[in-house]
Amino acid sequence: MRIAYQGVTGAYSEAAVLRINPTAAPLPRPSFEEVFASVEKNEATHGILPVENTIGGTIHRNYDLLLEHELSIVAEVKIPIVHNLVVPEGMKLEQVQRVYSHPQGLAQCERFLRSLTGVEIVATYDTAGSAKMIKEETLPNSAAIASARAAEVFGMDILKSGIQDFADNITRFLIVSREAVPLGIPDKTTIVFTVSNEAGALFKALSVFALREIDLTKLESRPIPDRPFEYLFYADLAANREELRCSRALMHLAEFAPSLRTLGSYPSWKEPVGGEEEPVQPGG
């Protein structure tokens, strides 16, 4: 199993790869688009994408990419995220003039960053990549928000640990594949649909699930390109699409939804037996 992820060694996405399958071979890629391309070109069997975080919210770009490509969602995984202020060896906090990280990493540490005086905040493509850039380019007076593993990989110090705004900082990832073969027994389905621009249309769409007692665990709207103020709706259903009640609900929805697509039916993430694991430190 070879799983493409966005970032470099030490990224949180790499940690998610190893949590879904400790024996998988992680394949780093510089962008989310290239994660999809690697799977489509058969360079990887699967790809992994962060889609939402309990602090930073939804990562909209990846929902857009799911629609742009024909890959199927086959699993999900959730990992606790621990952010650290990472610096070159020997640097002191008062020497830090710039902090680099992915926009999500910066958003998740907003309160800590506000406590720093006269420090420039710089958004980059990756958390672990920020640590790598500082180390390899010998950037003066610079720090990164990244994981403990990223600090270890690039030989850097941790000045402050656990700097995220909230202790319960969890990111949800989706695993995609060319083949719609779920990695386990499916009990969750993700769909995307549109509704007519008329009163009660969304209520009518959602009622097909309420009538069959299917729980919606997520509902997200996204603008439709080139159609101003018209929207797509992404929904996560707590049911396998092969269940009779779910298949009937989707057929019912298809009767009046202008468009409907199932992005995948897959097993919802469950913590390993034996209780919660320690927060995953490898960084993203």
Phi, psi of 86, rounded to the nearest 5 degrees: -110, 135
121, burial (CB in 10 Å: exposed 0-12, middle 13-18, buried 19+): middle
DSSP state of 94: G
| Residue positions annotated with a catalytic role | 171, 173
Instruction: Judge whether 82 and 55 are in contact, CB under 8 Å.
Output: no
Buried b (16+ CB within 10 A) or exposed e, 158-185: bbeeebbeeeebebbbbbbbbeeebbee
Query: What tokens appear for 142 in the block?
Result: 């610079």
Q: Any idea what DSSP says for residue 73?
A: E
Report d(CA 60, CA 172) in Å as an integer: 13
- Answer for the pair 79, 24: CB distance below 8 angstroms, yes or no: no
